[in-house]
Amino acid sequence: MPELRNFTLNFGPQHPAAHGVLRMVLELDGEVVIRADPHIGLLHRATEKLAESKTWVQSVPYMDRLDYMSMMCNEHAYCMAIERLLGIDVPIRAQYIRVMFDEITRILNHLLWVGCHGLDVGAMTMVLYAFREREDLVDAYEAVSGARMHAAYYRPGGVYRDLPDRMAQYRESQWKTAAQIKPFNDRRSGSLLDFLDDFAARFPALLDEYETLLTDNRIWKQRLVNVGVVSPERALQRGFTGPMLRGSGIAWDLRKKQPYEVYDRLDFDIPVGVNGDSYDRYLVRMEEMRQSNRILRQCIDWLRKNPGPVMSDNHKVAAPSREAMKTNMEELIHHFKLCTEGIHVPEGEVYSAVEHPKGEFGIYLVSDGANKPYRLKIRPPGYVHLSAMNEMTSGHMIADVVTIIGSQDVVFGEIDR
Amino acid sequence: MSATLEALSQNLHKHLGDRLRSLNVALDEITIEVDPADYLSVMQTLRRERELGFEELIDLCGVDYSAYGNVPRQGKRFAAVSHLLSIANNWRLRVRCFCDDDAFPSVPSVTSIWNVADWFEREAFDLFGIVFPGHHDLRRILTDYGFIGHPFRKDFPLSGYVEMRYDPEQQRVVYQPVTIEPRETTPRIVREATYGKAENA
């Protein structure tokens, strides 16, 4: 009688389906996973500790680098926490801009997710389609902030500057003829809002295209249906939020239940799954993109009609304009104090959460009245979801582990912080 | 105080009674403090009582209060702070529990009440050295294998103690004492409460 024993396999940290630097120690019985032990921290940069030695505004760009697939949503939670501690109001136009870019970020994140999830499971072409649309949206990022990923666009008190009136144009080169770049430049001929309006008009048809590829695809369903089932009770026990919780059938969305900014003025629906498996989470995220597109269009309409300031006029918090700074002594002093010492946030503590594309992204801030945070704690949704990995994978085949990582939508920037 | 917060604080007083060390309302949030001895039973009540109904533990983290306000700390140093969310009642709560012993901080584990606490408690142990009796697998989680110390404590330098490099002679990665020094560009300042007021000039 030969001796039978379980096989231990190292999955990652450099596995293409591990979505970054996940090392997972899998204990296998044949091809069936008995136990999964994720080893994380390979990307740990101690963002929270670094923030304690930076002024409040200096930490904003660190937020981009947490979940580097949904940059502005991270900034949003951080800026909102500071604003709540300071007790300042954000101009209504800035709130609409924030909501609009949150939804652009959600589409960006979900597009990357559907592309990579498809790639992991064997639908090679998805990623090519998804990146085609991502290109337009990162162009919108670039137009407002100058950076395609790490924008640092939201600031305590509003957003850095108003939306631009014109978009960057493609130029003819030895690789691209004038005829080839014309359709691209035609879309970029108006303002950023015209460009986004054009995108929002095209996007539902493109989503239908993705759904034709995947939703009823037999291979896709064989790989996803009934894989990684999470019951509503277990989802609550494991602290799930966002699409992971909604996929299990609990209609919980902070944008509806605890609305922040102007979400209570906008019209959108919350998709909810039934079975709590990977396929339901896929359907929830696809529908979320459609709803984000709806919000995007409402924001564009409002922003076209209502010009106004995009930054708080409280110059103890937000820097004055260059012109005011150079002509007015008081503003010069404000500018100097802000640039050397930074803002002072009153003593207190606050937890502010946003509905991030991956779930509830929260910032817990403790301030002792200094010009730097005393303690910053980031509540990353992916960290919580990954902690349920053992429970979700045990009993599944090793190939399903890849599906489950994909359906959790993990990004290691936020998990390892 | 809004009606929801009013209802929540009444329910908290009703169900927790004298296990409640303090209840604070600030910025539309309720913070309660409890003793480590009552911590586990309070958390159980918060989870089970329908009038409180906190089904989800959103976050649990350690805080080191030793340098708070730039003055030497009087009182206990470490606290475990949790954020709870009730989906049924749509309200949130913050629970703070100071650890009795600064040299060996310890708070009972809540993993049996909310399974999600597993990794949060490992993180608080890793970064602050708070021990959670009752946790089945309290290993380091974010720092390197074999890391020494608890990096988020206020007395741990930002640049750390050791750095890693590849040694071509030994043909492997080795640790050595850090060669960088922490550099502070903006000093940390806590202003007195009356700072900048015209009447004090």
Q: Which two tokens stand for residue B3?
A: 């009606």
pLDDT at A123: 85
Mean pLDDT, rounded, for B150-156: 91
| Cβ contact, residue pair A238, B151, below 8 Å | no
pLDDT at A394: 86
* Chain B CB within 8 Å of residue A80 CB: no
| Cβ contact, residue pair A238, B116, below 8 Å | yes
For the cut 80, the answer to whether the pLDDT of residue B196 exceeds it is no
A176 φ/ψ angles, rounded to the nearest 5 degrees: -120, 125
> Which residue of chain B is at minimal alpha-carbon distance from A415?
B142
| Cβ contact, residue pair B189, A258, below 8 Å | no
Sign of CA dihedral A257, A261, A266, A271: negative
Q: How far is the alpha carbon of A132 from chain B, nearest alpha carbon, in Å?
A: 35
For the cut 80, the answer to whether the pLDDT of residue B197 exceeds it is no
B188 vs A contacts (CB less than 8 Å) = 53, 370-372
| Cβ contact, residue pair A46, B152, below 8 Å | yes
State ipTM: 0.89
| Cβ contact, residue pair A364, B57, below 8 Å | no
For the cut 60, the answer to whether the pLDDT of residue B152 exceeds it is yes
> Which residue of chain B is at minimal alpha-carbon distance from A369?
B190
| Cβ contact, residue pair A236, B70, below 8 Å | no
| Cβ contact, residue pair A368, B55, below 8 Å | no
Point out the residue among A340, A350, A384 whose CB comes nearest to the CB of B27: A350
Q: How far is the alpha carbon of B62 from chain A, nearest alpha carbon, in Å?
A: 9
Count interface pairs A-B at CB distance under 8 A: 111
Structure-token match 């988020």, residue found? B152
Q: How far is the alpha carbon of A212 from chain B, nearest alpha carbon, in Å?
A: 35
> Which residue of chain B is at minimal alpha-carbon distance from A412?
B142
Mutation target vs A (from B47, B144, B189; most A CBs, 10 A cutoff): B189
Per-residue pLDDT of chain A (417 residues; tens, 9 = 90+): 677 778 888 887 777 777 778 888 888 888 889 889 999 988 899 999 999 998 999 999 999 998 888 899 999 999 999 999 988 989 999 999 999 999 999 999 999 999 989 888 888 888 899 998 899 999 999 999 988 889 889 999 899 888 999 888 888 889 988 898 998 888 888 899 999 999 999 999 999 999 998 888 898 999 899 888 999 999 999 999 999 999 998 999 999 889 988 999 999 999 999 988 999 999 999 999 999 999 999 999 999 999 989 998 888 888 888 898 899 999 999 899 888 888 888 889 999 999 999 999 999 999 988 889 999 999 999 999 999 999 999 889 888 888 998 898 888 888 988
pLDDT band at B107; cut points 50, 70, 90: very high
Point out the residue among A54, A257, A417 whose CB comes nearest to the CB of B90: A257
Name the A residues in 330-349 with CB < 8 Å from any B CB: 340-342, 344, 347-349
> Which residue of chain A is at minimal alpha-carbon distance from B63?
A375
* Chain A CB within 8 Å of residue B58 CB: yes
Mutation target vs A (from B119, B154, B183; most A CBs, 10 A cutoff): B119
Name the A residues in 245-284 with CB < 8 Å from any B CB: 250, 252, 257-258
| Cβ contact, residue pair B119, A416, below 8 Å | no
DSSP letter at B130 equals -
| Cβ contact, residue pair A54, B58, below 8 Å | no
pLDDT at B101: 87
Q: Which two tokens stand for residue A280?
A: 């339901």
* Chain A CB within 8 Å of residue B128 CB: no
Mean pLDDT, rounded, for B79-87: 92
A351 vs B contacts (CB less than 8 Å) = 29, 59, 83, 92, 94
Name the B residues in 133-152 with CB < 8 Å from any A CB: 140-144, 151-152
Q: Are A1 and B101 in contact (CB under 8 A)?
A: no
pLDDT at A378: 93
pLDDT at B17: 84
B182 vs A contacts (CB less than 8 Å) = 53
* Chain B CB within 8 Å of residue A35 CB: no
Q: How far is the alpha carbon of B12 from chain A, nearest alpha carbon, in Å?
A: 20
> Which residue of chain A is at minimal alpha-carbon distance from B59?
A379
For the cut 80, the answer to whether the pLDDT of residue B193 exceeds it is no
Q: Are B110 and B84 in contact (CB under 8 A)?
A: no
A114 φ/ψ angles, rounded to the nearest 5 degrees: -70, -35
For the cut 60, the answer to whether the pLDDT of residue B200 exceeds it is no
Point out the residue among A40, A55, A384 whose CB comes nearest to the CB of B186: A55
A387 vs B contacts (CB less than 8 Å) = 116, 118-119
pLDDT at B131: 92
Amino acid letter for position A2: P
| Cβ contact, residue pair A387, B119, below 8 Å | yes
